[in-house]
Structures are given as C-alpha cells and as structure tokens.
C-alpha cells in the first residue's frame, strides 16, 4: 500500500509541474496541493482499514476417506455399478466430567472404660471421568486418607501438618450393552447393599480387580474377581464374589429387590492380616493370623414404596460364614423415610445390627458402627437435612456395644454431626 501511495504522488507531481510552469499562478498551485492532501488522507484511511482487517478461516473437519474401490475384474473389485462403502466416521472427542465432595465432621465417642473423646475430621474427594466413545469410560478419584481401606477421614491435629492424599479409584468401564458392563481397576464397590447399609462392606471401600455387572428389567447380577493381598512368599489372597437377584414392581407401585450373594476369600486362614496388627473383631490364632477361612453367604431384600408422598425404604440383610467354628452370623434390619434432595427436604433413618466376630472380614465392614469391625450389636439413628442445593447437614447417633464374643463386652456410643458439600 505504501508503494502505491508513493507512485500516486509522483504521478500527481509530474502532472502538476507543467501546469505550474504554464500558469505560474498561486491559485492553481494551492488547488493542486489541496488535491494532493485529500489523496494522502484517503490512502492513510485505506492503510488503517487494511491493518484492522482479520482474515476469516473456515475450519475444515478432517474425516478419514475410504480408499477408492479396485477396478472391476481385479482382486477385491466388483461390479462397476456396485456402490462404494461409506467412509468411516471420525472419532468423537472425549467428554471430560469432574465431581467431588467435602465433608466436615464433629465427632464425640463415649466408650466404656475409656476416656470420652471429641475430634474434628475432614474428608475430601475429587474425581475426573472421561467418556471415550464406544461406551467406554475411564476415571480417577483422589481422596484424603492413608492406607485405611474403609475410611478417607483425616483428623484435625498434628500441629497443622499436611494431610495425606492418595488414589481412591482408578478404573475403566466398558458397556457391552445397555444391560451389561465390565469394569477393571480400583473401582466403586460392585456389590449391591440393601438400604445402603454397611453390614458386609463399608460404603467407602473401593476394591481392586475386575467386575461384571448385569442389570435387566427384572433381574440383576454382579460378579467380581478381586485381588486382596499380593504375597511374595505365599499364595495371594483373592476374593471371588457374586450376587444374583430380582427386581419387581408390586401392586400399588412398591418396588422389591431381593437376592442372594456369596463371597469366597481364598488363602486367608493361617495368613497374616491384610492390615498388620489389627484384628477388627475377627478371631486370630497364636501367631496373630486368621483362625478361620471366610466364605460368606448372604440373603438380602429391600422394599421401596411411597408413604404420605414421601419415599419409604425397608431393608433386611443376613450373612453367615460357612467356614467359621462359631460366632459366624450377622444381620441388619432398618428403614429410611423421606429424601434430602432439594433445599428444605429431609430424610430420617434407623437400623439395628448384630454382627458376630467371624461372620465377615472385619477390616472391610462398617468403620463407624461400634468403632468398626465385627463382634458388635446395637442401634443407629440418622437425620439428613438439605440446607441448600449441594449442601447437606447429617446427624448420626450410634447406641451400641462391642466385644461380646471376646468376653470383653462394653458400651460404645458415638455421635457424628456432618456438613457435606457436593460439587
């Protein structure tokens, strides 16, 4: 553009020089200078407009193209009139989803023969999942906590030290069909818990291995092969577990879920604890190893219905260890009414549990009821209120006793008040 302006000025001056020589008048010179000034201003505006202009590039989608069909009569070829195969679709971009929660807890523990204890605790979790197309999902969740498999709580103490944080889940899930899915890695518990109660497995337990789940209109099944403890000098501890059950809608709209479960722990008897030095209520031999094997058979049922325009859930769960010599059974019954889903809504629940010492693996059951583990019985009441969207208040009180099978029966009462934030 600058070259064009310089050329234009030279041409104008060249044309003006003869006119000045012929007329030699001040008026014509002034007119020519004015015309030159206007042309210069116009060229300046054109240069500014060009500098501000932004080229627009239309994006072009890259789609894999099918190779041309071979000519008719050659290998791979066909009729000249045969249609070509449609080009394959370009893979869709992954969809990334984030989630998380934070819980602040005040806890008071009153155990017989032990000084009363109060503490403040936090639990934080953050997860990311990617939908990779073709019904495939991969995910990762980080959580506070150390090695405890059934608790991510961190007590506020230690002189403001940094709290532990680690991998809570790392998994993939492939949905073969709408009803059948396959999951591998460190995953959410694949087994159904009636009433969301913790009789066999704590809600925070995230096992590791492979799981297959089927969920049809009227039937469901869960199966998993889980790696519990890898050992360099002995056979690995493995859990092979499965559930099968039915779902039915009854007259009046009530929904019944019922089924059976069986969980076979391989290579547990005579082996060290999964968490060294902690019995969690189970019977140990003189060497501090499991005195029994654990093959746990389960029967469960859950009934959900509407009562007074609010949901009501009733449940029962029974388990027995077929390999134990005694203290081998446990059960829980309970109910929950209402739901805390919208601001101002609430839910209240109650459960009674009796879990003998060797009914289940103690380190994997509820970490809160009677101080955690097995060899306990008692009541728990719960109230949840939705303060705002994604902000809940939860209150739980445990009125329990522990140690009957160990001949050291004592009361254990526990209060928990939580503020929970979900995002």
DSSP 341-372: -STT-EEEEEEEEEE-TTSS-GGGS-SSGGGS
Please tell me the predicted confidence (pLDDT) of residue 278.
Answer: 78
Give residue 256's pLDDT: 98
User: What is residue 284's DSSP assignment?
Assistant: B
Q: Give the pLDDT score at 146.
A: 84
What is the pLDDT, as a whole number, of residue 32? 60
Q: 262 forms bridges with which residues in the sheet?
A: 242, 297
Report the alpha-carbon distance of residue 401 to residue 396 in Å, rounded: 16
Spatial separation of the C-alpha atoms in residues 44 and 114, rounded to whole Å:
90
- According to DSSP, the β-strands at 95-111 and 136-144 are unpaired
Cβ atoms of residues 335 and 197 within 8 Å: no
What was the pLDDT predicted at 7? 43
Residue 30: phi and psi, rounded to 5, are -65, -40
DSSP element (H, E) containing 19 = helix 2-23
Tokens of 400: 């329990």
Q: Tally Cβ neighbours within 10 Å of residue 363.
A: 23
Output DSSP code: residue 201: S
**pTM recorded for the entire structure:** 0.77
- What local confidence, expressed as pLDDT, does residue 154 receive? 97
CB neighbourhood size of 358 (10 A): 28
| Residues contacting 324, CB < 8 A, separation 6+ | 283, 292, 294, 358, 359
pLDDT (tens, 9 = 90+) of the chain, 423 residues, equals 444 444 444 444 444 444 434 445 556 656 666 666 666 566 666 555 555 444 443 333 333 333 334 443 333 443 333 444 454 444 457 899 999 999 999 999 999 999 999 999 999 999 999 999 889 999 999 999 988 999 999 999 999 999 999 999 999 999 999 999 999 999 999 999 999 999 999 999 999 999 999 999 999 999 999 999 998 888 999 999 999 999 999 988 999 999 999 999 999 999 887 766 679 999 999 888 999 999 999 999 999 999 989 999 999 999 999 999 999 999 999 999 999 999 999 999 999 999 999 999 999 999 999 999 999 999 999 999 999 999 999 999 999 999 999 999 999 999 999 999 999
Q: Which residues contact 209 (CB under 8 A, 6 or more apart)?
A: 184, 224, 225, 226, 227, 239
Phi/psi at 205 (5° precision): -75, 125
């Amino acid at each position: 553009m600058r070259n064009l302006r310089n050329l234009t000025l030279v041409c104008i001056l060249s044309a003006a020089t003869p006119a000045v020589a012929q007329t030699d008048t001040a008026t014509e010179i002034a007119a020519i200078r004015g015309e030159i000034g206007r042309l210069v201003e116009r060229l300046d505006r054109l240069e500014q407009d060009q500098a501000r202009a932004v080229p627009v590039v239309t994006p072009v989608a890259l789609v894999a193209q099918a190779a041309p069909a071979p000519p008719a009569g050659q290998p791979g070829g066909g009729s000249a009139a045969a249609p070509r195969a449609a080009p394959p679709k370009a893979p869709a971009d992954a969809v990334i989803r984030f989630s998380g929660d934070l819980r602040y807890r005040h806890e008071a523990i009153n155990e017989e023969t032990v000084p009363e204890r109060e503490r403040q605790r936090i639990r934080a979790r953050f997860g990311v999942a990617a939908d990779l197309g073709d019904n495939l999902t991969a995910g990762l969740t980080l959580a506070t906590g150390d090695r405890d498999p059934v608790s991510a709580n961190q007590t506020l103490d230690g002189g403001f030290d940094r709290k532990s944080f680690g991998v809570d889940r790392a998994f993939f899930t492939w949905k073969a069909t709408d009803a059948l899915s396959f999951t591998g890695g460190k995953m959410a518990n694949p087994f159904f818990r009636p009433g969301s109660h913790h009789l066999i497995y704590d809600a925070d337990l995230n096992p590791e291995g492979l799981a297959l789940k089927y969920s049809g209109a009227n039937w469901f099944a869960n199966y998993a092969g889980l790696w519990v403890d890898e050992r360099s000098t002995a056979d690995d501890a493995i859990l092979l577990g499965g559930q099968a059950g039915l779902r039915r809608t009854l007259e009046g709209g009530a929904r019944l879920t019922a089924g059976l479960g069986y969980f076979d722990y391989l290579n547990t008897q005579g082996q060290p604890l999964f968490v060294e030095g902690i019995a969690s209520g189970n019977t140990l031999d003189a060497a501090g190893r499991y005195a029994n094997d654990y093959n746990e058979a389960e029967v469960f049922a859950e009934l959900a219905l509407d009562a007074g325009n609010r949901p009501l859930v009733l449940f029962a769960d029974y388990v027995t260890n077929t390999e134990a010599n005694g203290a081998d059974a446990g059960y829980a019954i309970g109910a929950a009414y209402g739901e805390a889903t919208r601001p101002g809504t609430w839910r209240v629940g109650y459960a009674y549990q009796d879990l003998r010492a060797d009914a289940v693996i103690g380190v994997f059951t509820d970490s809160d009821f009677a101080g955690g583990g097995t060899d306990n019985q008692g009541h728990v009441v719960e109230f949840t209120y939705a303060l705002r969207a994604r902000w809940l208040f939860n209150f739980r009180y445990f009125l329990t006793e522990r140690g009957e099978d160990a001949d050291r029966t004592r009361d254990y009462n526990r209060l928990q008040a939580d503020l929970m934030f979900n995002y």
